[in-house]
Amino acid sequence: MPRYRTIGVIGGMGPAATADFLARLVALADAASDADHPRVLVDSNPNVPDRNAAARGEGPSPGPVLAAMAEGLVAQGADLLAMPCNAAHGWAGAITAGPFVSMIDAAVAEAMAHAPRRIGVLAVGATLALDLYGKASQVPVLAGDLAVVQPAVTAIKAGDRSAVTRAALAGAAERLVVDGAEVIIAACTEVPLVLGADDVPVPLVDSTAALARATLAAARLSG
Amino acid sequence: MPRYRTIGVIGGMGPAATADFLARLVALADAASDADHPRVLVDSNPNVPDRNAAARGEGPSPGPVLAAMAEGLVAQGADLLAMPCNAAHGWAGAITAGPFVSMIDAAVAEAMAHAPRRIGVLAVGATLALDLYGKASQVPVLAGDLAVVQPAVTAIKAGDRSAVTRAALAGAAERLVVDGAEVIIAACTEVPLVLGADDVPVPLVDSTAALARATLAAARLSG
């Protein structure tokens, strides 16, 4: 008897983050054999319009493509949907084909478990411009230096996993801690591909792992 | 302009191997940005009937489920199909919805590039019983000790990545080399999750990586 409903993944933003999310779902399912895992349908689509350009009003909205991907996944059998890209949540309202597990809400919930007075986020332009974390959080949110985070994310998307990029992101996190952040959220799915808990002096919430945990919890069948 | 046709992945056998395959597609695409990657549709379905039981005549055929998964992926837009599970290739004939890239053929081609007189395979019961590698290879194929490989694969499916399991598989490979194998194929997708090239005294062909390379080559658009 299946333990989970079928999960649909609106992915490809970027492709490495989607592969990372699938690996987290597998690891966190804590399964003894293949049959204990959820069925997961993935659409890793690298052709979703650029979220940062859209947030600046300089490119098409990703909304219609995200809506179509969601419809395709539900048509194929997905019972609930998750999207491992923080910035794309600016257009989550377009995803109406099925129940949607919010990555932003999942990451904020994990951050709030530490009862911080301020949260720091390492995020890209669209996530900051649309204030996705500020709107979801009950405490003030401090934004990591975009002049550091944006080029780091672009480098990671091109395959960079270097110590230099890790140190740049760790430095941005450190400055947020100096400014009063008591938890840091890796609020772009590329960030946890290089930055780990050991690199940051306060608790680090990995938005990809938070979404995987929330998605498995939402998909789990009772009994 | 897209560089690749859309890839459909018939997966979930096991789920960790499918996540590994997706990560290989991402890494091997050698992309500078999201848009350089192929679109990949994945059906990670842990409910495909057991391949080993079916090969023993003790369970239902996986064929109809694999055929339905292929049809679903093609309906969603897949232009070609790949299946990161060696044993399931015993029922590849049921997959008729679209062009299919064979993992067995991909791994044998990479093995033959070393011009071996004999190939050793670390594979599970169904792969051996159906002689999938023997039929595809131009040189004799030696089977690794199933009493070692089968329990190792079961342990890996349950999350085991231990040095003990690695050593057991390395020992099975070593015995094949003593018996005359000049190349070893990790002919079950769980094997390369723990066994690496450094663990084997002759060239090791990773069937998951071989399939990823062959799939990207088949999906690549000219120009």
pLDDT tens-place string over residues B2-18: 689 999 999 999 999 99
Residue B181 distance to chain A (closest CA, Å)? 31
- Give the closest of A14, A19, A158 to B19, CB-based: A19
pLDDT at A223: 54
End-to-end CA distance of chain A: 10
Helix (H, G, I), strand (E, B) or coil at A2: coil
Mean pLDDT confidence for A1-27 = 94
Burial class (CB in 10 A: 0-12, 13-18, 19+), A163: exposed
Longest dimension (CA), chain A: 51
Check: CB of residue B96 under 8 Å from CB of residue B10. no
Residue A220 distance to chain B (closest CA, Å)? 15
pLDDT at A34: 86
Residue B173 to residues A59, A157, B14, B113, B178, Cα–Cα distance (Å): 54, 36, 22, 19, 9
- Give the closest of B35, B36, B45 to A39, CB-based: B45
Residue B112 distance to chain A (closest CA, Å)? 30
Residue B56 distance to chain A (closest CA, Å)? 19
Burial class (CB in 10 A: 0-12, 13-18, 19+), A161: exposed
Sign of the CA dihedral with B27 first, then B30, B33, and B35 last: negative
Check: CB of residue B87 under 8 Å from CB of residue B127. yes
Tell whether pTM > 0.90.
Answer: yes
Residue A13 to residues A43, A48, A62, A91, Cα–Cα distance (Å): 10, 8, 11, 13
Q: Is the ipTM of this complex over 0.85?
A: yes
Q: Which of A70, A60, A8, A74 is nearest to A38 (CA)?
A: A8
Helix axes A15-28, B15-28, angle to 10 degrees: 160
pLDDT at B127: 97
Do A46 and B37 count as a contact with CB atoms less than 8 A apart? yes
pLDDT at B31: 87
Asked if the model's pLDDT at residue B56 lies above 90, the reply is yes
Query: Of all residues in chain B, what percent carry a pLDDT higher than 70?
Result: 99
Asked if the model's pLDDT at residue B35 lies above 90, the reply is no
- Residues from A contacting B (CB-CB < 8 Å) are 2, 9, 12-16, 18-20, 22-23, 25-27, 29-47, 72, 75-77, 154, 157-159
Residue A76 to residues A40, B73, B207, Cα–Cα distance (Å): 11, 8, 28
- Other C-beta atoms lying within 10 Å of the C-beta of residue B175: 15
- Give the closest of A38, A40, A76 to B76, CB-based: A76
Kindly list the residues from chain A whose CB atom is less than 8 angstroms away from the CB atom of residue B52: none
Q: How far apart are CA A123 and CA A177, in angstroms?
A: 15
Nearest residue on chain A to B19, alpha-carbon basis: A23
Structure tokens at A111: 């951050």
3-state helix, strand, coil in chain A (%, to 5): 50, 15, 35
Write out pLDDT tens, residues A147-158. Answer: 999 999 999 999
Do B44 and A43 count as a contact with CB atoms less than 8 A apart? no
Residue A186 to residues A20, A65, B139, Cα–Cα distance (Å): 14, 25, 51
pLDDT at B46: 93
Nearest residue on chain B to A73, alpha-carbon basis: B76
Average pLDDT, chain B: 96
pLDDT at B32: 87
Nearest residue on chain B to A42, alpha-carbon basis: B42
Q: Which of A4, A158, A72 is nearest to B32 (CA)?
A: A158
Kindly list the residues from chain B whose CB atom is less than 8 angstroms away from the CB atom of residue A43: 39, 41, 76
Kindly list the residues from chain B whose CB atom is less than 8 angstroms away from the CB atom of residue A26: 15-16, 19
Nearest residue on chain B to A190, alpha-carbon basis: B34
Helix (H, G, I), strand (E, B) or coil at B142: strand
Asked if the model's pLDDT at residue B1 lies above 80, the reply is no
pLDDT at B34: 86
Residue B138 distance to chain A (closest CA, Å)? 33
Edge-to-edge strands of the sheet including A204-206? A141-143, A119-122, A183-186, A204-206
3-state helix, strand, coil in chain B (%, to 5): 50, 15, 35
Write out pLDDT tens, residues B101-140. Answer: 999 999 999 999 999 999 999 999 999 999 999 999 999 9
Helices (H), chain B: 15-28, 51-55, 63-75, 103-112, 125-129, 132-136, 146-157, 163-178, 207-219
Q: Most B CBs within 10 Å: which of A40, A65, A79, A160, as the mutation test of the B interface? A: A40
Asked if the model's pLDDT at residue A2 lies above 90, the reply is no
Reported confidence tier of residue B223, pLDDT bands at 50, 70, 90:
low
Kindly list the residues from chain A whose CB atom is less than 8 angstroms away from the CB atom of residue B26: 15-16, 19
Write out pLDDT tens, residues B165-209. Answer: 999 999 999 999 999 999 999 999 999 999 999 999 999 999 999
- Give the closest of B14, B26, B36 to A19, CB-based: B26
